Copies of this chain bind each other. A is one copy, B any other.
Amino acid sequence: MGLSLKTAVAIIEAALARGHELRLAPLTVAVLDAGGHLVALQREDNSGILRVEIASGKAWGALGMGIGSRELGERATKVPHFFNALAAASQGRLVPVAGGVLVRDASGIIGAVGISGDTSDNDEACALAGIAAAGLVGQTGARPAEA
């Protein structure tokens, strides 16, 4: 089935609600399908003009490597030359820092959520909250979290 627009909007609304609860800075939330294409995006008022590319890039990078962007960020600190090459190879579409979370259902990976605006830990927390609210499972590393 893939990741429907209805699901994507539900994820965004729940993620932004979590951000408001935590009194975070204005967020931008991007939801991509498994092919790396936008399904829905919302940028809150006063969220910076590069936040669209950053939020999308966190999600795209997670899909590109099949690994959540938190782990990509950890790897990037160890082999920066490789991630510089990936940035170029992906034409800037890969942003290796926490806040890009793979979305799974029973069939496997169906898309990814990327958030930018506050600290990357807080961005990620909102992504996970949004995914959970939609009844789906988030993945921040190389494999699904254990139950």
Q: Give residues in A with beta carbon < 8 Å to B.
A: 2, 4-5, 8-9, 33-54, 57, 61, 63-67, 73, 76-77, 79-97, 108-109
Residue of B nearest to A107 (CB): B1
Judge whether A97 and B85 touch: CB under 8 Å. yes
Copies in the complex: 4
Q: Which of A64, A76, A88, A108 has the most CB of B within 10 A?
A: A88
Partner of A65, one of B9, B48, B86, B88: B48
CA distance A52 to B80 in the complex (A): 20
Q: Which of B35, B51, B64, B80 contacts A34 (CB 8 A)?
A: B35
Chain B CB within 10 A, most for which of A4, A35, A46: A35
A-B contact pairs, 30 of them (CB 8 A): A2-B45, A5-B42, A35-B36, A35-B49, A39-B42, A40-B41, A48-B63, A48-B64, A49-B64, A50-B61, A50-B63, A50-B65, A50-B94, A51-B64, A51-B65, A73-B81, A80-B84, A81-B83, A81-B96, A82-B95, A82-B96, A83-B85, A84-B84, A84-B87, A85-B87, A85-B95, A86-B95, A88-B92, A89-B95, A90-B92
